[in-house]
Structure 1
Amino acid sequence: MDWKRELVIAHFVKNEIERVDLKCLWENTLPEVPASEADVREVEHKLGHALDGQFRNFLLYANGWRAFKNGVDLFSTSDLLGGVRAERARDILRYTESLKDICGYEESEVMPVAVSSDDIDIMLMSRPGAADPGKVMWIAGGLIQESVGFDEWFLAMVDYLRLDYEFLAERHGLRKYDS
């Protein structure tokens, strides 16, 4: 995936949302600066396994993204090891009814890669050794969406951002960008 291109497109869409978000529902943020190869290797060492290649590649272009999709924060290397976002993900998982029934995985077979700061949405990725490693599941009380990998998930979230834009533009009678 051409992350430079996809990050620019995602931010363009977020800028357009900001233009039509007259009630300031969502914060317009930029992705974080890239993680270093050394940072990623250190996280892999501490986790005891390699990161999925697609997610790893993303981190080398953007080390997380706060408020990427509305209140959903994409994890950084430090989030993978702990901190506020990791704790929020643990809290959501603690109150989630049988994860195995929802998505087919035990909690030990997945790791959070994104979490909502203001809702119950959590994005889980299947770990190496699990069935379909690298699969991303969006869970919010139940399974919302499955993606075969991080790249597909990211592109789907940008598509959802486009839908948010179109909804707001139409609601306020504003001109849409040329698609």
Structure 2
Amino acid sequence: MKDEKESNLKDWKDKISVMVLVKQEIQRLDKMGIWPHYLPEIAATEEQLASAEKYLGHSIDKDYREFLMCANGWKGFLHTIDLFGTGDLIGSSLMDYVLRNLDVMDDAAKLSETSGFLKEELLPIAATREDIDLFVITRETSSHPGIVIWFAGGEVEKFPNFKEFFSYD
């Protein structure tokens, strides 16, 4: 079990390193400074992860948790979209904004009818204030945990897990 966890963390470190290299090349080519460019946050501690899980009332998806163990969020992960860290999961102004948007989306067109999941089954993991894009992961307590859904007014795309979302191109 320990070897598997170490292998998974190494895989995440490799994925994050590749993404950093890609983002550095994008920054080099972005002569007009169109997009913000940030590095990922430092790894979450076990205490931060446990605190987030206690606050949420359930464990964090395995893949997402392993990512957080290597990078506790990433501002500007995808253009202006921030990938949430443990602090956001516990509560931040961006998380509050996303939760309000989910409420509006649920009132306008029941999320269960458009995504197949109740709002309560969705945990926001990434968003921006610059546009309407937001990403959620189905909670461990849902009927199908670990699915990442991209919303931009309505559902744009579903990813079978956090790894697939992270590696999306």
What TM-score, normalized by structure 1, do the two folds share? 0.84
Runs of 4+ aligned structure 1 residues displaced above 2 Å come to: none
Aligned counterpart, 1:176: none
List gaps (5 residues or longer) in structure 2.
Answer: 1-7
Contact 1:137/1:146, CA 8 A, preserved across alignment: yes
List gaps (5 residues or longer) in structure 1.
Answer: 160-179
* Alignment equivalent of 2:115, drawn from 81, 87, 103: 103
Equivalent residue of 2:18, what SS? helix
Aligned counterpart, 1:43: 52
Aligned length: 157
CA distance in 2, matches of 1:129, 1:59: 19
CA distance in 2, matches of 1:125, 1:33: 22
User: C-alpha root-mean-square deviation of aligned residues, in Å?
Assistant: 1.1
Offset at 1:102? 2.1
Matches within 5 A, 1:108-127: 108-127=120-139
CA distance in 1, matches of 2:113, 2:81: 24
| 1:53 maps onto 2:53 in alignment | no
Contact 1:35/1:59, CA 8 A, preserved across alignment: yes
Change in Cα spacing, 1:6 to 1:106, as seen in structure 2 (3 Å) is same
CA distance in 2, matches of 1:129, 1:79: 20
Contact 1:88/1:115, CA 8 A, preserved across alignment: no
Offset at 1:135? 0.4
Residues 104-124 of structure 1: CA deviation (Å, up to 9, x unaligned): 111101110101131101101
| 1:135 maps onto 2:147 in alignment | yes
* Alignment equivalent of 2:94, drawn from 73, 78, 85: 85
> What letter is aligned with 1:57?
E
* Greater relative CO, 1 or 2 (CA 8 Å, sep 6+): 1
Equivalent residue of 1:35, what SS? coil
CA distance in 2, matches of 1:88, 1:55: 21
> What letter is aligned with 2:134?
I
CA distance in 1, matches of 2:81, 2:131: 9
| 1:69 maps onto 2:81 in alignment | no
